[in-house]
Chains A and B, each alone.
Chain A
């Protein structure tokens, strides 16, 4: 089991987002978190990632990658500099250029991230998924700002990750188009 959530409850500003939430995500599984705006999808992911501490219940997880609304890219630095920093931080090896090529951003190594479009920055953020080598991916609205080719790219990346016995928890409004993914509805 790569992620085990039991009896999770969270309030924000006195409003209950979710209570008695329990689910597991195992190897090769993808769980989509759905729900209207403000139903607590992002907060759930932040609770699991350890970026929001004000919750009750238990979360068990190993190493994971978290891709949130903030991409974690310094606009002043180039794509390569950003990803090399990330590599150093997680202690991963591997080629940054290859990771960029896999997200369709080959040739953008030396371009400052602030000179890229929102969708291109997203793609650089996606390259982190390939660099991190983490078994569990926590993705918060990964489809934002991406074109239809980008949507397909995400589905491909997720399916490849599941094939490597990885697991994905993904908050999204749109259909991920990943075969065999389960859905968790919040705010119903």
Chain B
């Protein structure tokens, strides 16, 4: 006879896995929530490629900035829906009431969101670089900065999403809240690629990105938890 696990002692791993499975199932049912921001990214990059005149040389110089800004905006698009559905259907209430500790399923949600936005965009970045004539020699730096920087975007963004989820039209407010938080990531991310193009060492920027992401990882889940409580208790 196998003894039943006590309801009070849910292992952290089971909690994380439970939430992650739910995110995957939910995304499988509505893949457009993942695909649309990616399509936006490539449409916008194409628009830049079409509108900036002057040929490959001009485009190449601006490519790091363009890619980073658009990754940032596309990421924000997918953040709007991070907690929206859970808030509307009441699963957020249940999550806040029942999960012990609450930050574990929250972190699982953010990890899932990053995999479907930041990670997906990192993997597609070579294509974006191709459209903007970025030389392949710059690809490793671009991919590394995106890989290290995008988790911070998702983590900071989740705080904004949690604060605005109770508002019916939170979209613009979300942008106003989190875009300032994105600035350091943008500066170090785009800066690293640009400087690498002119042959300057970029170790410092890489370490900064790593530090920002680590800081976000330590602080954001708890900030999101507090923000969700405020949103639900209204």
Contact = CB atoms under 8 A, between A and B. Distances in A.
A85 interface: yes
Interface in B19-38: 19, 21-22, 25-26, 29-30
Contacts of A85: 18-19, 21-22, 91
Contacts of A66: 93-94, 97
A49 interface: yes
Contacts of A76: 25-26, 29-30, 85
A89 B99 contact: yes
A89 B7 contact: no
A179 B14 CA distance: 40
A91 B97 contact: no
Interface in A75-130: 75-77, 81, 84-86, 88-94, 112
A181 interface: no
B228 to A, nearest CB: 11
Contacts of A53: 229, 233
Contacts of B105: 89
Contacts, number: 95
Interface residues of A, number: 33
A145 to B, nearest CB: 15
A6 interface: no
A68 B90 contact: yes
Interface in A130-156: 132-134
B1 interface: no
Interface of A: 49-54, 63, 66, 68-77, 81, 84-86, 88-94, 112, 132-134
Interface of B: 4-11, 14-15, 17-19, 21-22, 25-26, 29-30, 85-86, 88-91, 93-99, 105, 229, 232-233
Given A89-B18, A91-B9, A68 B91 contact: no
Contact of B85 (A63, A74, A93): A74
A72 to B, nearest CB: 4
Given A77-B29, A81-B22, A133-B7, A91 B14 contact: yes
B15 to A, nearest CB: 7
What 9 A-B pairs have minimum CB-CB distances, sorted nearest first? Answer: A70-B90, A88-B18, A91-B10, A76-B29, A72-B90, A72-B94, A85-B22, A93-B4, A72-B91
A88 to B, nearest CB: 3
B93 A51 contact: yes
A91 B6 contact: yes
B233 A52 contact: yes
Nearest to A134: B7
Residue among A54, A76, A91, A93 with the most chain B CB within 10 A?
A91
B89 A89 contact: no
A81 B25 contact: yes
